[in-house]
Amino acid sequence: MNLQLLQTRLGYTFQDAGLLQQALTHRSHSSVHNERLEFLGDSILNCVVASILYDRYLEIDEGDLSRLRANLVKQQSLFEIAQKLELSQFLRLGEGELKSGGFRRPSILADTLEALLGAIFLDGGFEPARAAIRSFYIPILDSVDPQTLGKDAKTLLQEFLQAKKISLPLYNVIATHGAAHSQEFEIECLVPKLGIQVFGRGGSRRAGEQAAAKLALAAAELAVQKGPAATRKSKPRAAQLKLAGIATVQEQPAPLAKAAKQ
């Protein structure tokens, strides 16, 4: 395990190697683990990200700043940063976690990243921890739109239509598929004024609506940009579901065709 490589990626070299080892240690490995460091790192992370946002976005109000921060410090965001650091190769896990693939688990990787920030703070103080956090987040903020970051597809679609003075979309459950314990919902999203009818599917009604809203937003932006003609030729439902990244339903043979063969 090349801990020097990890320190290079973090931009910080530990004076106390034991703190680094502890930050990388999951509770399944030993009684000296990283959960208290994680608690500390979480607080420092929230403070520094809040400060970055406060300084960077002078025109954004408290509500939107809170939304941005929540999105940036959530587990998925931390997991993605941990993946860029290739943190999984440095984890110290117990045998059970190793066998079950704990080194790939988003929660473990996100928690370990927070523990590392806590360890940097204890080892070197606030400024090195702040520098590490800034190195993670400034590139992210340089590539995102603060007005949309953290907003789901339904919210973005609603805001887009309201800005254009277009009536809000309509969502309808078209069908449900699968057994009761693993149902998928097929949802239709309509924007009548723009002639938009799209379909999405998800493991819950909400997930299906989000999938449909994502397609509807893309269609609405295109329609407003190019005019009503842009929505006349819409893709068939199966193609839309595939575009949404969701498996399509197998086509059933037409009853008349089946009868003809008999």
| Tens-digit pLDDT profile for residues 19-46 | 999 999 999 999 999 999 999 999 999 9
Question: Residue 21: CB partners within 8 Å, gap ≥ 6?
Answer: 3, 92
Options 1.10.1520.10, 1.10.600.10, 1.20.1250.20, 3.40.1380.20; CATH of 3-142:
1.10.1520.10
Residue 254 has pLDDT above 60, yes or no: no
CATH number of 153-243: 3.30.160.20
CA pair distance 8, 99, nearest whole angstrom: 29
Helix (H, G, I), strand (E, B) or coil at 145: coil
Q: Per the annotation, does 127 bind a ligand?
A: no
Residue pair 229/194 in contact by the 8 Å Cβ criterion: no
- pTM of the entire predicted model: 0.66
Q: Could you give the percent of the chain with pLDDT greater than 90?
A: 63
Domain with CATH 1.10.1520.10 in the chain: 3-142
pLDDT band at 153 (very low <50, low <70, confident <90, very high): confident
pLDDT tens digits, 175-223: 998 887 778 999 999 999 999 999 999 888 988 998 999 999 999 989 8
Indicate which residues carry an active-site annotation: 42, 114
**Residue 62 Cα distances to 66, 69, 90, 148, 150, angstroms:** 6, 10, 38, 15, 15
Q: Per the annotation, does 111 bind a ligand?
A: yes
Residue 230 has pLDDT above 70, yes or no: no
pLDDT at 1: 73
Helix (H, G, I), strand (E, B) or coil at 100: coil
Domain with CATH 3.30.160.20 in the chain: 153-243
Q: Per the annotation, does 64 bind a ligand?
A: no
Two tokens at 185? 């919902």
